[in-house]
Amino acid sequence: MVYAREASLEAAILDVNLDGKFCFPICSVLIQRGIPFCFLTGYSHLAMIPPQYRQAPLVSKPFEPEEMRNVIEMMLSGQLTGPLLRAASSKGRAATGS
C-alpha cells in the first residue's frame, strides 16, 4: 500500500487476489492519485470487481503477451474509458463484463 500512496508510478498492474488479499484498497489510492491500472486475474467471475473499479481493463490468466502489451499501451496513452472489458487476445477471447 505504501507504493500505491508514495511511489512515482505511471500505471499499475494489479492481481485481484494476491496471497489471499484483494487489491481493491489499492485501486482507491491509485484513482485518487490519477494513476491508471488494470486487473490481472485467473477469476472468471467479473462480478467480483466492485462497480466503482469496472472502468479498468482486465487481463485474464493465462494471457498472450500481446494482450498485456495492448493494455499497457492503453494505460500509458490515457485511453481507459468505458465498462470493464477483458482484454482481447490473439485467440479471440474478447468479452464484456456481462
Q: Using the 8-state DSSP alphabet, how is residue 45 labeled?
A: -
Residues 84 and 39: their CA atoms lie apart, in Å, by 10
What domain range includes position 83?
Answer: 2-96
Please tell me which residue, 78 or 62, carries the higher pLDDT value. Answer: 62
Q: What is the mean pLDDT of residues 54-75?
A: 89
How much of the chain, in percent, has pLDDT values that exceed 70? 81
pLDDT digits (tens, 9 = 90+) for 9-18: 999 999 999 8
CATH number of the structural domain spanning residue 84: 3.40.50
The pair phi, psi for residue 17, each rounded to 5°, is: -130, 105
How much of the chain, in percent, has pLDDT values that exceed 90? 36
How many structural domains are present in the chain? Answer: 1
Instruction: Indicate yes or no: pTM above 0.85.
Output: no
Query: Predicted confidence band at 5 (pLDDT cuts at 50, 70, 90)?
Result: confident
- DSSP H helices, 1-98, are 2-6, 24-33, 65-77
